[in-house]
Structure 1
Amino acid sequence: MHRTELLKKLLPGFIPLFVFIAADEIWGTKTGLFVAVGVGVVEMIWVAVREKRFDKFILFDTVLLVALGAVSILLDNDLFFKLKPGLIELILVAVFAVSAFSKVNIIGLMGKRYLKDVQLNEVQAAQIRKSLKTLFFVFAAHTILVFYATFFMSKEAWAFISGGLFYILFGVYFFVELFRQKRKQKALKNEEWVPLVDETGKITGQAPRSHVHNGSKLLHPVVHMHVLNRNKAILLQKRPESKLIQPGKWDTAVGGHISAGENLEQALQKEAWEEIGLKNFSAKLLQVYKWESDVEAELVYLFVTQDFKNYTVHSDEVVEARFWTKNKIENQLGQKVFTPNFEHEFQLLKEKGLV
């Protein structure tokens, strides 16, 4: 889910506050207070009927408005009247500040109420936090301007700054964010997308391939296959020096991502052909395990095959492929000849008695 979509879904929790700001500007404090409280009550009833729960956040928002409105009416003071929009916005800024810069994510807690069917991955959560930081700085600056206008500017200037400018800033931010997301989607349109999974293999979403290799640690599935001959030697491929991850090292004969929409068999057949020209083979699933490096997190489906006769190096994905004996591999373990992932899998093959 994109940040703009999440923002649209979270807005109901702030509706009484926004209604009060608008109604106060149009009809005055008393009418604005009644309208905002009415909206808050209707919203609480709607949530109670539709979702069968009591929303404490809406209640807090509504009670806070009653308190501020009551003080304003009782004091009947022009200065307090002019400060009131800034005080209300200050609360909103505080919510953004706590959510963006601390471990207590108030917006996130609201999200659990309003977005029960939505699961955010780590990258999306980071994007939301980045948006909250932006909103904090934008509205903190606006709040300071409201206080400045209260004491040092004309009533007309104060009216525009405390009212119309607030909605203009919010609208500009929303549409700028929407434009950025559209551009981002366009740029990623032709990129390969991969599924995101949990540790049981259940698909939880999808992401562009570049996003799972940028340190985000988004868990995604991959297929690996070891090719063994009758003497239990292992076919290894040498990675090109141009590779981003583990360049120039010897690695598992077949390894690659499962693309969005592919199943295990399709991905394995595709990767085996692309990397070592192998087709029409049978393979056995040996183990499923999670592998994490500095730049990514993978759920690895590890296969083994003894169909090796037709392999050939025919693409720039592989520099060389040849069989290695168990002894030759063991003599060079830990010397940066092999990828750490292969060394881990070599131990698995030994434990299973396959080499």
Structure 2
Amino acid sequence: MELWDVYDINRKKTNQTWVRGVELKQGDFHLIVHVCIFRSNGDMLIQQRQSSKEGWPNMWDLTVGGSAITGETSQTAAQRELYEEIGLTIDFQQRRPHLTINFENGFDDYYLLEENVQLHTLTLQDEEVQSVKWASKEEILRMIKAGEFMPYYENLIQFLFDGRKLRGSIQGS
């Protein structure tokens, strides 16, 4: 049984927990993290979800992602998910998400990192990930249209690629 912290609308923990799979009450929220790893040529490391996954089996997805469990911060959840799903250790303690998107039942934190990872050094979590590869923005957008990639908004994918080396929403110095 996996427990998640419950947050209020202002992203403050309510000191309540929620069992994964049980419907949240109105006004309760949870935290999800996504880590997108890019290499220096601009490609993103993507993963193919296992065929046994409950949601979107066999679909390609961002590098890693998942819900924060009870007691975790966004940073510790991102660090754990990255290690669990692909065996990569990166310290997130001094990192902030590049982007947070509010959704109906929670908050999605997106971390955008540049790391020239060698695929053969990764250890894939058998229950979650069946394959990984590098993909360009154009390839991911094509895969979304073909129904092979999770159905993210195309403009989100565009933003992840364009904003990977930037902070904020204003261009300039």
* TM-score strictly above 0.5: yes
**More strand per residue:** 2
**Structure 1 residue aligned with 2:171:** none
**More helix per residue:** 1
**Structure 2 residue aligned with 1:336:** 147
SS in 1 for 2:21: helix
**Structure 2 residue aligned with 1:303:** 111
Give the stretch that moved more between structures: 333-342 or 200-209: 333-342
How high is the TM-score relative to the length of structure 2?
0.79
Do 1:291 and 1:341's aligned partners in 2 also have CA atoms closer than 8 Å? Answer: no
In structure 2, relative to structure 1, the CA distance for the partners of 1:329 and 1:280 (3 Å cut) is closer
AA aligned opposite 2:142: N
Q: What's the C-alpha RMSD, in Å, of the aligned pairs?
A: 2.6
Residue 129 of structure 2 is aligned to residue 321 of structure 1: no
AA aligned opposite 2:148: V
Do 2:38 and 2:112's aligned partners in 1 also have CA atoms closer than 8 Å? Answer: yes
State the shift of 1:331 in Å.
Answer: 2.6
AA aligned opposite 1:329: I
Match of residue 288, structure 1, among 92, 100, 107: 100
Do 1:288 and 1:300's aligned partners in 2 also have CA atoms closer than 8 Å? Answer: yes
Residue 15 of structure 2 is aligned to residue 207 of structure 1: no
AA aligned opposite 2:8: D
State the shift of 1:219 in Å.
Answer: 2.2
CA distance in 2, matches of 1:217, 1:248: 32
State the shift of 1:351 in Å.
Answer: 5.0
In structure 2, relative to structure 1, the CA distance for the partners of 1:324 and 1:290 (3 Å cut) is same
Residue 80 of structure 2 is aligned to residue 270 of structure 1: yes
In structure 2, relative to structure 1, the CA distance for the partners of 1:222 and 1:353 (3 Å cut) is closer
Structure ID, larger Rg: 1
CA distance in 2, matches of 1:291, 1:280: 27
Deviations 1:134-177 (A, max 9, x none): xxxxxxxxxxxxxxxxxxxxxxxxxxxxxxxxxxxxxxxxxxxx
List alignment gaps of at least 5 residues for structure 1: 1-190
Could you tell me the percent identity over the aligned residues? 26
AA aligned opposite 1:207: W
How high is the TM-score relative to the length of structure 1?
0.41
In structure 2, relative to structure 1, the CA distance for the partners of 1:330 and 1:314 (3 Å cut) is closer
CA distance in 2, matches of 1:222, 1:238: 19
List alignment gaps of at least 5 residues for structure 2: 166-173
In structure 2, relative to structure 1, the CA distance for the partners of 1:215 and 1:332 (3 Å cut) is farther
Match of residue 229, structure 1, among 39, 42, 54: 39
Match of residue 279, structure 1, among 89, 104, 110: 89
CA distance in 1, matches of 2:117, 2:133: 12
Match of residue 352, structure 1, among 150, 163, 166: 163
SS in 2 for 1:332: helix
CA distance in 1, matches of 2:27, 2:153: 20
Aligned length: 159
Do 1:199 and 1:299's aligned partners in 2 also have CA atoms closer than 8 Å? Answer: no
Q: Which has the higher relative contact order, 1 or 2, with Cα contacts under 8 A spaced 6 or more apart?
A: 2
Do 2:36 and 2:111's aligned partners in 1 also have CA atoms closer than 8 Å? Answer: yes
